Amino acid sequence: MPSERHGTLVYRRAADYVAAAMIFLRDNLLLREPLRPEHLKPRLLGHWGTCPGITRTYAALNVLIEESDADVLLVTGPGHGAPANHANLWLEGTHEEYDPDLDRTEQGLTELARRYCAPDGFPSHLSPALPGTLHEGGELGYALATAFGAALDAPDRLVACIVGDGEAETGPTAGAWHSTKLLDPATSGAVLPVLHLNGYKISSPTLFATMSDDELTALFRGYGWDPRIVDVRAEPDGEQLTDAVRDAYAAITRIQHRARTQGTVERPAWPMIVLRSLKGQGAPAEVEGRRIEGTFHSHQIPLDGVHDDPEQLKALETWLRSYRPEELFDEHGRPRPEVTDRCPRGDRRIGMQRAADGGRLRRPLDLPPPEPYAVDVTQGPGSATASPNKALGAWLTELMRRTKTTRDFRIVSPDELASNKLDAVLEVSGRSYVWPVDEYAEHLSRDGRVMEVLSEHNCQGWLQGYLLTGRHGLFPTYEAFATVVDSMLNQYAKWLKMSHEVPWRTPVSSLTYLLTSEGWRQEHNGYSHQGPGFINNLLTKKPTVTGVYLPPDANTLLVTMERLFTDTGRVNLVVSGKHEAAQWLGLDDARRHCEQGASIWRWASTHDGEDPEIVLACAGGIPTVETLAAAQMLRRDLPDARVRVVNVVDLCAIAPPDRHPHGMPDADFRALFGTDTHVVFDFHGYPSAVHQLLHGRPYTERFHVRGYVEEGTTTTPYDLLASNGVSRHDLAITALEYLRGRNATTGDLAVGYARERDRYRKELRRTGIDPAAIREWTWQP
């Protein structure tokens, strides 16, 4: 045992040395000669303070893997501690597996250091370019939920998750501690959190580090964990963490064994580790009268004046030489055997974990055909009514049934499946929940693959971890509250964009949001529930990794989802209604429409849509209804007008092809919208989204986009539309404005439409419901 402990300590010395050298040096990496200013990097970037704790955890996990052959995936929350991850990847030989130029020699180490925080090199935080990595840590708060997603339906996997004490202060992390209540020990793996308390953030203490051991124990026991507190501040060379990892793994295997052989384990108290250590352990204790080790001064660059201050340069050399690199590396710069003896071999190395490149594990879903779930509209457009989400729910139920054995598909939702008419899936897979429930509850199941919790952050983190480790899933949520995960979407889209640029990364299943309870039917819940801004956020991301779909009925929704569940490497957004509504396209027509992304609805147009004087375009379920109603009004009152109706289902199809891969060719765009014809575009969301996508198309000033303009209250559906200027009357009035001069009656018609709209709004304020003419409207061919 003493020799084993010595080997781990030597390994940690080497890893800490490499991490520190990467931050400061571009030459003389092994200090073969006295340190001089020209050996330093011109810019010093990185966060040293967390690096020793990451290495200590990595080393303890290495011992566990060697001793038990555990299948370990590491999620590192403090992403700016990337130098530590790089150091461990280089020492275990993973870096050179992916790039021979980063081999375990002095030259390879020098190349690694030169690439770190250099143009076209590695960033200061974790990134897709690092093997064994599936979480960037660029924005704090999501490591723990992502780790749980990676553990789901992977019964042999141990996901170790380093949670920094700054990260632990975030709301998403606070919510993620509850994830054990939805983790079935019989069918899933386990998460071993290591809460790293080194005391400080950038310039102030962390909340958790100021809590006593008793307070921490009480807090985490209250969450349902079994905490182990490891304090290495007084004995930094000790192996208490390694012992705690061994003990925690033994407890995990006991919980899993009991669940898999004896059945139900009520309230399993999963082990976790609280690691107290010195901030920036190993850095100089004091330089020029300022304390460094164990204070916030070691958080980022402990010696930030090293270029110009000889005293700091001397302190840096003393610090680096304190690791005794000559004992750690041979004459060629290779780590000596006593350094690497404690590293796992082959695929058991943490950096070689296959699940961290989950596309290699991904298998296509066994998708059910949509035909049995399609809505019959053989009597013509508008002849049938259905809830798009109910039709989708029936299809998803069969998908759940087909994946019951493979267990590679999950639905995550903030407690909204029933509200959004998707609860048919619960017939096949209940809501995942492990703890006992005393009161009446429905559809709870320990091994359920539906995960509902009132935390959009948890849902997003779970699904990211699940997809990144090779599986499939869906995230349905209320449209207005999808924006809770705006920043998580930002980070994940960046991850996917960078993943596409890493040649060895295999694409993973696309992340699909299904936004329901859309704002136009949230008049009863009021202004707070009316907000389509998630579309706009998605459109700011790289076009190669994003898609936005607004299927106008059930059959186009089925076709869209069938397509997206085969898609990889993207974030896709689908907006769909849950209420009973008229259905427009048969399944074959829906397939053609979705394939094109946008098409002329000739059956709704006059003169078969040819040679139009005005184009009425729409995107979204409610805008489609209002546009068709406006077209019907114009057909009735101005029968000679040549009106074309265009429906857009793939919103990005309207973008120029050089700005979005879904953008239709210019010739197709002209065939839909003409070149000088005015277009009245009724859009589901904010008008700015359409204008953004149209940018780059010629003559866009002829597009008159109507959409949500932040007018709303608790009212009726029609009043909400009219207050935002997107009612059928407003669309028809706008169309008449650009037909003015063709016919002397257009002005009178516009006045009549405005009066009818205002009369309806006055009436609904008296009755509290929309007039029958609105509620009972149907399409008349």
- 192 and 52, same structural domain? yes
Q: Determine the 3-state secondary structure of 569 from DSSP.
A: coil
CA distance 364 to 371: 20
| Within-domain flag for 607 | no
- 154 and 35, same structural domain? yes
Strand partners, 149: none
CA of 199: how far to CAs of 148, 162, 293, 579, 690, in Å? Answer: 26, 15, 11, 52, 48
The pLDDT of residue 4: 59
Task: Convert the pLDDT of each residue in 29-82 to its tens digit.
Answer: 999 999 999 999 999 999 999 999 999 999 999 999 999 999 999 999 998 899
Task: Give the tokens for residue 318.
Answer: 């003393």
* 24 CB-near residues (< 8 Å, 6+ apart): 40, 41, 44, 303, 306, 316, 320
Task: Convert the pLDDT of each residue in 245-274 to its tens digit.
Answer: 999 999 999 999 999 999 878 899 999 999
| CATH code of the domain in which 744 resides | 3.40.50.920
- 256 and 395, same structural domain? no
CA of 495: how far to CAs of 137, 251, 508, in Å? Answer: 11, 34, 12
Return the residue matching tokens 């050179």. 96
| Within-domain flag for 581 | no
To the nearest whole number, what is the mean pLDDT of the chain? 95
Average pLDDT of 191-195?
A: 98
The pLDDT of residue 1: 46
| Within-domain flag for 191 | yes
CA distance 611 to 641: 10
Task: Give the tokens for residue 697.
Answer: 């198309």
Q: What does the angle CA 56 – CA 59 – CA 62 come to, to the nearest 5 degrees?
A: 155
CA distance 273 to 241: 8
Task: Give the tokens for residue 66.
Answer: 């060697």
- Report which of residues 2 and 230 the model is more confident about: 230
Task: Convert the pLDDT of each residue in 337-365 to its tens digit.
Answer: 999 998 999 999 999 999 999 999 999 99
Q: Helix H segments across 476-620?
A: 486-500, 534-539, 554-564, 587-596
Amino acid type, 594 = C
- 453 and 557, same structural domain? yes
CA distance 202 to 10: 29
CA of 462: how far to CAs of 13, 174, 451, 473, 515, in Å? Answer: 35, 14, 9, 10, 18
Domain boundaries, position 58 = 2-353
* 89 neighbors 132 (Cβ within 8 angstroms): yes
Question: How big, in percent rounded to 5, are the helix, strand and coil portions of the chain?
Answer: 45, 15, 40
| CATH code of the domain in which 287 resides | 3.40.50.970
- 433 and 466, same structural domain? yes
* 757 neighbors 726 (Cβ within 8 angstroms): no
Residue 735's nearest CA partner among 632, 608, 619 is: 632
| Within-domain flag for 651 | yes
- 555 and 676, same structural domain? no
Provide the pLDDT confidence category of residue 237 given band limits of 50, 70 and 90: confident
In order, the DSSP letters of 371-392 are GGG----TT-TTSEEE-HHHHH
pTM of the predicted structure, to 2 decimals: 0.96
The pLDDT of residue 251: 98
Q: Determine the 3-state secondary structure of 227 from DSSP.
A: strand
| Within-domain flag for 710 | yes
CA of 236: how far to CAs of 12, 94, 245, 282, 386, in Å? Answer: 11, 27, 16, 9, 66
Q: List strands edge to edge, sheet with 225-231.
A: 71-76, 157-164, 190-197, 270-276, 225-231
- 737 and 662, same structural domain? yes
CA distance 651 to 693: 8
- 424 and 315, same structural domain? no
Phi and psi at residue 184, in whole multiples of 5°?
A: -85, 115
* 663 CB-near residues (< 8 Å, 6+ apart): 652, 653, 654, 655, 656, 657
The torsion angle over the Cα atoms of residues 21, 26, 27 and 29, rounded to 10 degrees, is: 20
End-to-end CA distance of the chain: 85
Q: Determine the 3-state secondary structure of 565 from DSSP.
A: coil
Q: Is 517 left (phi over 0), alpha (psi -120 to 50) or beta?
A: left
| Within-domain flag for 367 | no
Phi and psi at residue 472, in whole multiples of 5°?
A: -130, 155
Residue 478 pLDDT greater than 90, yes or no: yes
* Three-state secondary structure of 609-673: HCCCCEEEEEECHHHHHHHHHHHHHHHHHCCCCCEEEEEECEHHHHCCCCCCCCCCCHHHHHHHH
Count how many residues are written for the chain.
Answer: 781
Task: Convert the pLDDT of each residue in 503-552 to its tens digit.
Answer: 999 999 999 999 999 999 998 999 999 999 999 999 999 999 999 999 99
* 115 neighbors 121 (Cβ within 8 angstroms): yes
- 759 and 725, same structural domain? yes
- 74 and 217, same structural domain? yes
Domain count, the chain: 3
The pLDDT of residue 441: 85
| Within-domain flag for 591 | no
The pLDDT of residue 203: 83
| Within-domain flag for 605 | no
Task: Convert the pLDDT of each residue in 132-157 to its tens digit.
Answer: 999 998 788 999 999 999 999 999 99
Cα dihedral across residues 169, 174, 176, 180: positive or negative? positive
Phi and psi at residue 461, in whole multiples of 5°?
A: -60, -45
| Domain boundary pick from 519, 553, 575 | 575
- 717 and 668, same structural domain? yes
pLDDT above 70 covers what percent of the chain?
Answer: 99
CA distance 547 to 44: 38
- 427 and 336, same structural domain? no
